[in-house]
Amino acid sequence: MGWTTQPVCTRCLACLGITTHASHHAPVSTNICLRHGRWIGRYGHQLELHTVPEVIRAQRHHYNLIRRHGQRIVTYAMAEATDISFRWWDSDRFDRRWRRRMTALGGPKWHAFKDDIELVACTYPDIVALSGLFASPHLRFLPFTGKGRDLRRFIREVRDRATTGYSLETAGKRDPLIRWIEEEPSDRNLPFYPWRPPGRPAPEQVSVP
């Protein structure tokens, strides 16, 4: 329920005089040790992030989203944003900013695969930004109002947050965001769907025959 077991930052342990590795319970939203600027969100080596400060700032943005919208909503939105973003990455539609971060971390001749910690860290800022769009109870439902200006605003938000130059006209039917727009209305029937769409009455206002 919002918690996971993950490694403790080894520098934090060293400050306590502990030289062995250790794990602890932490919120699922914790990916970075803000004290030492290290990626700790997955088992494996702990990644130094001082050359990519926007990745460290993304952790603070992630925490702010949870304070604003709640853990349940942000976790759901992060799952959606991660799936869409990595499908864009597979088709080379993802924003090029992650490439600049990879170069800052690994040099000009870097190589990365989908589950590499470096790639996960470098795409984290854009995924968190896109999650903020999906977590917002106002922005999330803009494509479904039937108004062209609302859909255009939604696409502007997508461009600003995750994919510079994105457009519906060139996206194609298999584009993951197009699929999300098509499937989101049916997802509202899922028992764990955490939003109440505009126009839907609150559960206590529904009269059950």
52 band by pLDDT with thresholds 50, 70 and 90: very high
> Looking at residue 93, what is its pLDDT?
65
95 band by pLDDT with thresholds 50, 70 and 90: low
203 band by pLDDT with thresholds 50, 70 and 90: very low
129-185 tens-digit pLDDT: 999 999 999 999 999 999 999 999 999 999 999 888 888 888 888 899 999 999 999
Return d(Cα 159, Cα 151) in angstroms, integer.
Answer: 13
Q: Which residues contact 93 (CB under 8 A, 6 or more apart)?
A: 163, 166, 175
Return d(Cα 82, Cα 78) in angstroms, integer.
Answer: 6
Return d(Cα 158, Cα 41) in angstroms, integer.
Answer: 25
Q: Which residues contact 101 (CB under 8 A, 6 or more apart)?
A: 52, 54, 55, 121, 122, 125
- Over residues 113-117, the mean pLDDT reads 74
6-35 tens-digit pLDDT: 899 999 999 999 999 899 999 889 999 999
Q: Which two tokens stand for residue 52?
A: 């990519």
| Overall residue count recorded for the chain in this entry | 209
- The pTM is what? 0.87
> Looking at residue 1, what is its pLDDT?
62
Which position has the higher pLDDT, 90 or 140? Answer: 140
> Looking at residue 208, what is its pLDDT?
38
- Over residues 40-61, the mean pLDDT reads 89
DSSP-assigned beta bridge partners for residue 24? 6
What is the rounded average pLDDT for all residues in the chain?
Answer: 87
Return d(Cα 122, Cα 154) in angstroms, integer.
Answer: 24
86 band by pLDDT with thresholds 50, 70 and 90: confident
Outline where 34-175 has alpha helix (H). Answer: 53-69, 71-90, 97-106, 117-135, 148-161, 168-171
Instruction: Give the count of beta carbons closer than 10 Å to the beta carbon of residue 103.
Output: 15
Please determine, for residue 207, whether its predicted confidence score (pLDDT) is greater than 50: no
Pairing verdict, β 38-39 and 32-33: antiparallel
